[in-house]
Chains A and B, each alone.
Chain A
């Protein structure tokens, strides 16, 4: 135990270095958004705004379409997550609790769909949207975003449902409950926290999505918040104040949601395989 003071110093020094690396960019984003333009472009950056200025946010609100972009993102993310969670709950119940032929193949396909990167799928999906005449509108995104959220949500929910002991269900069935009513009255309510967490993560996946939105939408009034942000860069001109302010507005909802559900996050990210 004699080297424990030395060890403590190493542990806390490393912790501080990790924290500085992780948080400095976020701090810098916040500080920049509250600086005046003159202060942002001065040769010596200041680490605290000389006076808090709301210019950046003021500009954002009057920026053409920015509020519409936020609204679009909200609508798309809500509709897609709601639809995804409902159909995924049904599928996940079947996969985790029922016996049927082809179960292995189906659960494998869902995991495959979850891991398949967007960079491989964006052109086929773009062509589907075009074929159906839904390009250049948020309906196109509503059509293809479930390819991200359904496999994810189904996979997450399978592991939540599996963690509920079969005995509870069997007891209910002996009492005369049908399969469907045990699902609705026992499994779903017992998994409510997991379902809520999955819904929230599905929402953040849609909210943060950029590539699909980039290929599907070019019309200003149908752009999502990620496209709205990237549009603020005109050529090589960066308006850092509004850009950082917009970045904060785009981050706050997902950070708040994360804080509410952080303890569920790990199992989902690691595909349930890391235990």
Chain B
């Protein structure tokens, strides 16, 4: 009896959320999949064109450039975030003074709006009065100002830097949470047995935080793969499409060239890897619930 009445109540309670998500997320998404099969442009009714958008993209070298850039951007950024996040977690896990204060301070880059971090870094990178060039010249590492956003490869490095700066805290705090579940007794026993710091890290610390690190890295990958703001605001995908990723290409095609059908097709192509990653996270998160 309790089961059935609870069941009815459950649907009533969930209905606002479910109706909203169905109407504003699921249906538009289905509509978008259809529109990717049309030549829809802003303000003009669409005509069904089948797979034409996808075929055009497959033949478009700019599209493949964006695929490659997305891959490079995501790969390097996620690896750097994982490495520095782990370093941050290991340091914060030590017995240090004012640990909570440092934890809060190191977390700040993640809290401020993305657009704010972009502007701040843009100012640091600036070739007129930018502090990064000033510091590097002062220390003798470079002899003349570098245009951090002016050359394709360097621009890629610069946008990755901003993404990493923002993303380290998330990885760090997630790994720290994992580290704090490792019991200290095992460590003390290992130390008595004479295991060195490096050995202890690779045989004890690393295995115990492996799962947390992988899960946090996958979530980070999902976010990084679709980063739009940092690249758009810093370089608009340039110079010379050197930082053009799929999200910026989709925006450019959709809102500057007004070709919505093709722009949606670009987002939809990113879905298969994305769904794989999201599936991994949902499986892990839901199984740890029970």
Min distance, Cβ B172 to any Cβ of chain A, angstroms: 9
* Number of A interface residues in the complex (CB < 8 A): 97
- Flag B242-263 by CB within 8 Å of A: 1 or 0 each: 0000110011001100001001
Picked from A26, A87, A127, the residue with its CB within 8 Å of the CB of B17 is A87
**Residues of the A chain whose Cβ atoms lie less than 8 Å from the Cβ of B119:** 29, 229, 243-244, 247
Q: B282 to A211, Cβ gap below 8 A?
A: no
The stretch of A48-56, A92-100, A189-197 in contact with B is A92-100
Q: Which of A95, A108, A109, A120 has the most CB atoms of chain B within a 10 A radius of its CB? A: A120
> Which residues of chain B are within 8 angstroms of A90 by Cβ–Cβ distance?
13-14, 16-17
Q: Do A243 and B123 touch across chains, with their CB atoms under 8 A apart?
A: yes
Collect the chain B residues with CB atoms within 8 Å of residue A26's CB: 108-109, 112, 120
Residues A25 and B24 in contact, CB atoms below 8 Å apart: no
A185 within 8 A of B: no
Picked from A3, A22, A44, the residue with its CB within 8 Å of the CB of B168 is: A22
Q: Complex formed: what's the CA distance from A32 to B131 in Å? A: 11
- Given contacts A25-B120, A94-B9, whether A42 and B177 have CB atoms under 8 Å apart is no
Determine if A250 and B116 form an interchain contact, defined as CB atoms under 8 angstroms apart. Answer: yes
When distances are taken between beta carbons in the complex, the residues of chain A under 8 Å from B44 are none
CB nearest neighbor in B for A6: B197
Q: Does A234 contact B (CB under 8 A)?
A: no
The answer to whether B14 and A28 have CB atoms under 8 Å apart is no
B62 at the interface (CB under 8 A from A): no
Contact between A18 and B106, CB atoms less than 8 A apart? yes
User: In the bound complex, how far is the Cα of B117 from the Cα of A23, in angstroms?
Assistant: 11
**Among B16, B134, B284, which residue has the most Cβ atoms of chain A within 10 A?**
B16
**Residue-by-residue, is B218-230 near A (CB-CB < 8 Å gives 1, otherwise 0)?**
0100110111110
Interface, chain A (partner B; CB < 8 A): 3, 7, 11-12, 14-15, 18-19, 21-23, 25-26, 28-29, 32, 40-45, 87-88, 90-91, 93-95, 98-101, 103-104, 106-113, 115-125, 127-128, 143-144, 146-147, 150-151, 154, 159, 162, 179-180, 204, 207-208, 210-211, 215, 226, 229-230, 238, 240, 243-244, 247, 250-251, 254-255, 258-259, 262, 265-266, 269-275
Does the CB pair B24–A147 fall under 8 Å?
Answer: yes
- Contact flag A106-B278 (CB < 8 Å), given A23-B108, A98-B6, A123-B263: no
A207 to B169, CA, bound (A): 20
Instruction: Knowing A22-B109, A40-B129, A180-B9, say if A274 contacts B178 (CB, 8 Å).
Output: yes
Q: Which residue of B lies closest to A162 (CB)?
A: B289
B159-174 at interface with A (beta carbon < 8 Å):
165, 168-170, 173-174
Taken together as a complex, chains A and B put the C-alpha atoms of A254 and B111 apart, in Å, by 7
Q: Which residues of A contact B91 (CB under 8 A)?
A: 11, 14-15, 18
Closest chain-B Cβ to A36's Cβ sits at a distance in Å of: 13
Report Cα–Cα, A95/B17, bound state, in Å. Answer: 12
**Given A28-B124, A123-B264, also A271-B219 (CB < 8 A):** yes
Q: In the assembled complex, how far is the CB of residue A91 from the closest CB belonging to chain B, in whole angstroms?
A: 4
CB distance from B72 to the nearest CB of A (A): 17
Interchain Cβ contacts under 8 Å between A and B, 11 examples: A11-B96, A15-B102, A44-B134, A95-B14, A124-B28, A204-B111, A207-B113, A243-B119, A250-B112, A258-B108, A275-B181
